[in-house]
Structure 1
């Protein structure tokens, strides 16, 4: 399988300008990232704000969003990856939402002081959440919705990778382990990797096995996915 080359963030400060660029693309005033915590415990799951630029009163905005739409967002991410949007009386973005019919689900108007759109991202037990953009006059189109959703996925992958970097073993991957993982991620089997690198099949499997252990993964596929998130391979 082939993967797109994506420059992973090395810190949360690298994520901020990406979000600002996305914010401008949909004519939003602010952004926020929420994660769904408590995976595997339906009665204990909740929305947690990870990052935002709402400024003064940010906590109030986050709490209001969670109070009004929290349960809907938590349920929605289990059943659909369509973005959710809502309007505000007098400043609704209904006109642009009509252009995105089929790509966006419209929520009932709540009592929030802003309109908004939430892009759901599902990355596994600890990677689920939403990238939210808010403002009085969001400008949405099918292209901007699709592009923003893809970028939202990359943003959440960056956050997950940054979290994992704090918990991975101190022992880093060797150049040979990285090379074998990269070729395996490109869809090559052990025999093809061995021929490409001039190694024996046994040695290739040994490198892949040691990399899997270092990445605290249960199999080669999981190791490849984790190596991508951590920026070892692309």
Structure 2
């Protein structure tokens, strides 16, 4: 992780068959989170989103997904109460993962090889340790994927980087689902998707018309209606949103 500001490399995640499948419901998210939990040998996971818009005094962390109660006997509210404000401030300036330790783990992670690539939080009154991976995807997509562990997180630095990239991919899937739910009920037609795909490939309207055996006017009409359905201001934004939502590649 040479820079804390740039996007994460998710190419390794894309090579996994499970991540290649389109996410269509919340039930598709949980297997990915469980897989990450197992990779870290963690007890539980939670996806925390930053809510409250652009007003600093209103920002807070809210749980979108979690399985803490089954493993820890309680939800993630004590963790949010202990570290919520700290984590909100952290994600504004850094994308380094953060570690926290149980109260009696003063030497937590001091000897691990990934220490230069993480931030260690001050101990709080919690009886479990863990790691939180920040993901920043814009105003409605900022948050953390958090894992509680039975002891100190002691993994190779490369493994931490890999999990962080996979967390970014999962958060993008969650954002995509939320955008789909907020879209009008009218979905894109096959012709609209085909025109968007070719436009996304760099084809101009004349080339798309020739490829699909349509008139240029009809192609522009399909692209225009798709742009409206995707609540976009222009063709470029519509293509970007269609990619993010999984309509085109």
Q: TM-score scaled to structure 1, two decimals?
A: 0.85
Give the equivalent residue in structure 2 for 1:53. Answer: 67
- Whether the 8 Å contact between 1:92 and 1:136 is mirrored in structure 2 is no
**Cα drift, residue 167 of structure 1:** 2.0
- Whether the 8 Å contact between 1:103 and 1:145 is mirrored in structure 2 is no
Change (3 A) 1:122 1:68: same
Give the equivalent residue in structure 2 for 1:39. Answer: 53
**Cα drift, residue 55 of structure 1:** 1.7
**Cα drift, residue 213 of structure 1:** 0.7
2:88 paired with 1:74: yes
Aligned with residue 181 of structure 1, among 196, 208, 226: 196
Aligned with residue 35 of structure 2, among 10, 16, 21: 21
**Cα drift, residue 204 of structure 1:** 3.9
- Whether the 8 Å contact between 2:50 and 2:88 is mirrored in structure 1 is yes
**Cα drift, residue 25 of structure 1:** 0.5
**Unpaired stretches in structure 2, ≥5 consecutive residues:** 1-10
Change (3 A) 1:59 1:129: farther
Give the equivalent residue in structure 1 for 2:179. Answer: 164
Q: TM-score scaled to structure 2, two decimals?
A: 0.80
- Whether the 8 Å contact between 2:109 and 2:115 is mirrored in structure 1 is no
Separation of aligned partners in 2, 1:18 and 1:57 = 18
- Whether the 8 Å contact between 1:92 and 1:115 is mirrored in structure 2 is no
**Unpaired stretches in structure 1, ≥5 consecutive residues:** none
Change (3 A) 1:100 1:172: same
Give the equivalent residue in structure 2 for 1:120. Answer: 134
2:150 paired with 1:136: yes
Change (3 A) 1:231 1:100: same
Give the aligned CA root-mean-square deviation in angstroms.
2.7
- Whether the 8 Å contact between 1:116 and 1:134 is mirrored in structure 2 is yes
Give the equivalent residue in structure 2 for 1:105. Answer: 119
- Whether the 8 Å contact between 2:69 and 2:75 is mirrored in structure 1 is no
Greater mean alpha carbon deviation, residues 197-206 or residues 14-23: 197-206
Change (3 A) 1:116 1:189: farther
Q: Secondary structure at the match of 1:32?
A: strand
Deviations 1:204-233 (A, max 9, x none): 443322211101122333323322332212
Q: Secondary structure at the match of 1:99?
A: coil
